[in-house]
Amino acid sequence: MCSLASFLAIEGTNFGTILASKPKSLSSSSMMSSQAHLNCKMHFYPRKRAGVSVAVSVSVSASVEIDGGNSMPVSGLVFQPFEEVKNEAFVAPVAPQVSIARQRFTDECEAAINEQINVEYNNSYVYHAMFAYFDRDNIALKGLAKFFKDSSEEERTHAEMLMEYQNMRGGRVKLHSIMNPPSEFDNAEKGDALYAMELALSLEKLTNEKLLSLHKVADRCNDPQLADFIESKFLDEQVEAIKKISDYVSQLRRVGKGHGVWHFDQSLLLEGEAAV
Ligand SMILES: [Fe+2]
Ligand SMILES: [Fe+2]
């Protein structure tokens, strides 16, 4: 530890020269360094009358460790890019099956993105099943059919955004299996519209949990770029979707199962509400 206060607390000791050189992390989000080292060299000279030691000189130097173990100074030297790029961390791989762009992208983040792609596809599949249900001739709630069709496409867009991001970082998209959704959404107590909308709300809340888990993985792997991608492209949209569907659930609870549902459906159709 490099703490002046901790040394001063021990009065009357003849400290002489104390060298504290334990590595200390400077920044967990540095894009260039895997570890940073802070070296503090302190010289203490005890004062006889006061009985308290006073530091008269402190020198500090910092260095960063680049992938591969080479330690590079971060201050006091002219930046020498053509020397630094010789580090193997910056050399483009030649093996055809290996990504050229990949840098500081962990297997854990790659796997977590593939999991989220699966979640988005599942949502898309369920919403598509709801579209098919409400579009039937004996159901004929065209506003709900349109809303769930748009929502299904929106979820597929989310999956595609994650795929493009995976490729951008040099990961590999792996699609997992998706469960077949129900084809019937009628419910004797709630009616089909409210039942489907409550199911949609549950799905969106679950998706929010999954996104927060993905964000945690990005944090744990020290990947601020992935964390920023999730925050800027997904988290806002997700809480807005939860609010919108919650409103719909409240409205459907008010109108009951009969004529009111037809009015609700017409309002969705006329207003052209955006998908969730
Ligand atoms: Fe989504
Ligand atoms: Fe959604």
5-58: pLDDT as tens digits: 343 333 333 333 333 334 333 333 333 444 445 444 444 444 444 444 444 444
209 appears as a binding residue in the annotation: no
Q: What's the rounded mean pLDDT across residues 239-256?
A: 97
Distance 258 CA to ligand 2 centre (A): 27
As a whole-number percent, the residues of the chain with pLDDT over 90 amount to 63
Distance 214 CA to ligand 1 centre (A): 13
Is 262's pLDDT higher than 50?
A: yes
**Range name among 25-29, 112-116, 168-172, 259-263 with the lowest pLDDT average:** 25-29
- For residues 94 and 140, what is the distance between their CA atoms, to the nearest angstrom? 57
120 appears as a binding residue in the annotation: yes
The pTM for the full model equals 0.73
Count of H-run helices and E-run strands, the chain: 8, 4
What are 98's two structure tokens?
A: 């290996």
The residue among 181, 179, 180 whose CA lies nearest residue 199 is 181
11 appears as a binding residue in the annotation: no
238 appears as a binding residue in the annotation: yes
Strand stretches in 12-115, DSSP E: 17-20, 35-46, 53-65, 71-73
Distance 202 CA to ligand 1 centre (A): 13
Distance 172 CA to ligand 2 centre (A): 24
